[in-house]
Homo-oligomer: A and B are copies of this chain.
Amino acid sequence: MRGYRQKLKKNGFKLTPGREAIIAFFSGKNHYATPETVWKEVRKSLPRLGLPTVYRNLEQMRKINILTQVDGAENRFYFGLCRAKNPGEHHHHISCQKCRRVSEVENCYLQSLTKEIKEKTGFQITGHKLQLTGVCKDCR
């Protein structure tokens, strides 16, 4: 919790009640949630917090790698706390299709494939996005 405060300050963001409440919300559970879900929950303690503010804060905290964003079903965003050892480093996430739990996949196994794909397709690979779906330990 303290770590997030430092990270916000270091990046020039103020410590607003909204930001603190959003982080507190995610700290309680290691699951993804939509902006609206976050809003409805956080509003219980901050009734005047607006949904646009939640969107703004989620995006800002994603930019500084406090949160991670997943493009979920139906073209909606999901956010979750990034718990990687080094959140700024390239890595992936896997989410449970039953309970939305998130886990870090800190090794990226794809970099080694760059050469092979280049030979086959002629493309110089500049990036990739990997969306892993599964069932977590507790849901089996």
B128 contacts A124, CB within 8 Å?
no
Write the chain B residue with the least CB distance to A101: B123
Contact A123 B109 (CB under 8 A): no
Across-interface contacts of A75 in B (CB, < 8 A): 71, 75, 77
Question: Within residues 100 to 126 of chain A, which ones have a CB less than 8 A from any CB in chain B?
Answer: 103-105, 107, 109-110, 113, 116-117, 120-126
Provided the pairs A71-B71, A71-B75, A75-B75 are in contact, do residues A132 and B125 lie with their beta carbons within 8 angstroms?
A: yes
Interface residues of A (CB under 8 A from B): 71, 75, 77, 94, 96-97, 103-105, 107, 109-110, 113, 116-117, 120-137, 140
A135-B124 contact in complex given A71-B71, A71-B75, A75-B71, C-beta closer than 8 Å: yes
**In the docked arrangement, what's the CA distance between A126 and B104, Å?**
16
B103 x A126 contact (CB < 8 A) = no
Nearest-CB distance from A116 to chain B (Å)? 8
Chain B residues positioned under 8 Å from A129 (CB to CB): 130-131, 133
